[in-house]
Amino acid sequence: MKTIAIQGFEGSFHDIAAHGYFAGEDIRLICCATFEQVFENIRRSPDIVGLVAIENTIAGSLLHNYELLRDSGTTVAGEYKLRISHCICCLPEDSWETVAEVHSHPVALMQCRGFLANHPELKAVEAEDTAGSAKFIAENKCRGWAAICSRQAAEMYGMKVLEDQIEDNKHNFTRFLVVATPGREGMLRTCRETDKASLVFSLPHEEGSLSQVLSILSFYKINLTKIQSLPIIGHEWEYMFYVDVVYNSATRFCQCVDAIMPLTKELKILGEYRHDGTNPTI
Amino acid sequence: MKTIAIQGFEGSFHDIAAHGYFAGEDIRLICCATFEQVFENIRRSPDIVGLVAIENTIAGSLLHNYELLRDSGTTVAGEYKLRISHCICCLPEDSWETVAEVHSHPVALMQCRGFLANHPELKAVEAEDTAGSAKFIAENKCRGWAAICSRQAAEMYGMKVLEDQIEDNKHNFTRFLVVATPGREGMLRTCRETDKASLVFSLPHEEGSLSQVLSILSFYKINLTKIQSLPIIGHEWEYMFYVDVVYNSATRFCQCVDAIMPLTKELKILGEYRHDGTNPTI
């Protein structure tokens, strides 16, 4: 049995993603209040695996999770892409007529902005978690309160779904990373070769330094699927680059890393894994 | 007198940025509830100028504003960088002992997460705006409610500051763009030459296509200060790239744009302007 640390409660999108990635396996969840706690769990028990959201087609990258990933020393062992759909739910004895507040995570509230604009009678209240809001309302019998969460969470906590698929944009996917203690990621892998990697590096602000690195990637036939620059706080004109690449040959990828190493600073391979091709783009 | 459309109320960070950028000039604000309304104002009255947040050192890029900017057909005429600092404030007759809820914009609540974790007695409530929360509480005499907003907004609405500088990370800067109807940006410029530009383009997912474009930028001595890839929804393996560059010669920049044009798709210059060097990095 594998133990998976996630941020959020049972029924959260992290829970759904964990069960999706480890489909058919026996898993036990550790539900954490924060992403920091997910990484802290892995640090204390190297057999624990983490699953963390890293980007969303609407909200963009979770920059803070990139930092946690880089600072934690964990390695990326896999990715999973999940279609995000929200519903609004309340206690079975409540209805549209009696609901006055809606509780959810700020990102979920933001993703349902259009829906909320059409319901000015609902006061939006920020909560720690989507599923956690449903759980709280169910357990504390909060009359007049609604939650925005997954349909699975609503059903799990015995809540009544008032409306389903209330997210503004249906092209709403979140990409999750499976993170593990280096050396332990083997237990997560079948024998298949990797075909994707996440890297982070910085560059001196010399003319064309990024162009040189990308040229070498191109010579080695390593393809970018994501690039994001982040200014390094306090170092004017210096940047961190978070890059995802896909490749056909893991050997070629290793050779390419050797080739770009001297041109970069603080190059770190965050992990090599199999890309999730089940859902389009991210 | 110039008319500036901003998102948010008087006292908001957009207001502070507008007065900072147009320091010494006579300006009139149009306070909009949404960024969409800012662009709608410019569309209807070409003499109206907009000021919109585009990225923050902590929260990252406002991807939706990039889309609005691209779709609106407006041009970027300038940038302004502002240090973001939040305070918590309440009615003069309230105090730490009597305050139970804190209202603010979800991004501000997120930026004060550490502070809020230390005050579990405060219920965080999502609102449309930081300054707007202070205004609402002041005007409606909401006993027991606090707002998170700028010190300026707290003072403007006669609120009592309970604690200042409550943001978790003091390296909190927001970069704003001044946007205008093409052809009208002249009124915003002194005769100084431009030295920065924002571009957006897409690339076919051919090996090394980004590397080719960046090589040409490098040959022309055009320096990147930001690059961000965004997957194009529904087009697997195709990406939009938002790129900011700085340069010494506007002529050289124009020649470079001509040189990369044939290698890109849907290349659009979002604007050429003077870079704001008053604050470090973004």
pLDDT tens profile B91-120: 999 999 999 999 998 888 888 988 999 999
Which of A125, A208, A232 minimises the CB distance to B126? A125
Residue contact A208–B218, C-beta within 8 A: yes
Architecture of domain A2-83+172-182: 3-Layer(aba) Sandwich (3.40)
Residue B10, SS3?
coil
Q: What is the CATH number of domain B2-83+172-181?
A: 3.40.190.10
Contact B33, B60 (CB under 8 A): no
Segment A130-156 shows an average pLDDT of 95
ipTM field: 0.71
List, in order, residues 6 or more apart from A57 with CB less than 8 Å away: A169, A171, A172, A173, A174, A281, A282, B231, B233
**Per-residue pLDDT band at A280 (split at 50, 70, 90):** very low
For the cut 70, the answer to whether the pLDDT of residue B235 exceeds it is: no
| Euclidean distance between CA atoms A280 and A60, whole angstroms | 16
Residue B216 distance to chain A (closest CA, Å): 9
Residue contact A223–B236, C-beta within 8 A: no
Please, what is the Cα angle at B222 between B260 and B265, to 5 degrees?
A: 25
**A interface test, pick of B35, B148, B281 with most A CB neighbours within 10 Å:** B281
pLDDT tens profile A150-206: 999 999 999 999 999 999 888 888 999 999 999 887 666 655 689 999 999 998 767
Q: Over the Cα atoms of chain B, what is R_g?
A: 21
Residue bearing the bigger pLDDT, A254 or A8: A254
Lowest mean pLDDT among A74-88, A262-276, B153-167, B196-210: B196-210
Per-residue confidence (pLDDT) for residue A141, from 0 to 100: 96
Residues of A in contact with B207 (CB under 8 A): 218, 221, 223
pLDDT tens profile A87-121: 999 999 999 999 999 999 888 888 898 899 999 99
Q: Where along chain B do its domains lie? A: 2-83+172-181, 87-163, 196-271
Residue appearing with tokens 């104002």? B41
Q: Does A61 touch chain B (CB under 8 A)?
A: yes
- Whether B196-271 and B87-163 are alike in CATH topology: the answer is no
Contact A179, A169 (CB under 8 A): no
For the cut 60, the answer to whether the pLDDT of residue A221 exceeds it is: yes
Residues of B in contact with A277 (CB under 8 A): none
Per-residue confidence (pLDDT) for residue A191, from 0 to 100: 52
List, in order, residues 6 or more apart from B47 with CB less than 8 Å away: B3, B181, B184
Architecture of domain A196-273: 2-Layer Sandwich (3.30)
Residue A183 distance to chain B (closest CA, Å): 31
For the cut 80, the answer to whether the pLDDT of residue A238 exceeds it is: no
Average pLDDT of chain B?
Answer: 89
Residue contact A231–B110, C-beta within 8 A: no
Segment A246-262 shows an average pLDDT of 94
Q: Which stretches of A91-187 are DSSP H helices?
A: 106-111, 113-117, 130-140, 151-156
The CATH superfamily label for domain B87-163 reads Periplasmic binding protein-like II (3.40.190.10)
Closest CA to A133 of A29, A35, A38, A12: A12
- Beta strand ranges found along chain B (DSSP E): 2-7, 27-32, 49-56, 60-61, 75-83, 87-90, 101-104, 123-126, 145-149, 160-163, 173-180, 196-203, 223-231, 239-246, 265-273
| Joined tokens for residue A250 | 């893991």
Segment B258-263 shows an average pLDDT of 95
pLDDT tens profile B43-89: 999 999 999 999 887 777 787 888 899 889 999 999 999 999 999 99
Chain A stretch 214-253, residues whose beta carbon is closer than 8 A to a beta carbon of chain B = 214-215, 217-219, 221, 223-229, 231-238
pLDDT tens profile A39-88: 999 999 999 999 999 988 777 778 788 889 988 999 999 999 999 999 99
Per-residue confidence (pLDDT) for residue A235, from 0 to 100: 60
The CATH superfamily label for domain B196-271 reads ACT domain (3.30.70.260)
For the cut 70, the answer to whether the pLDDT of residue B233 exceeds it is: no
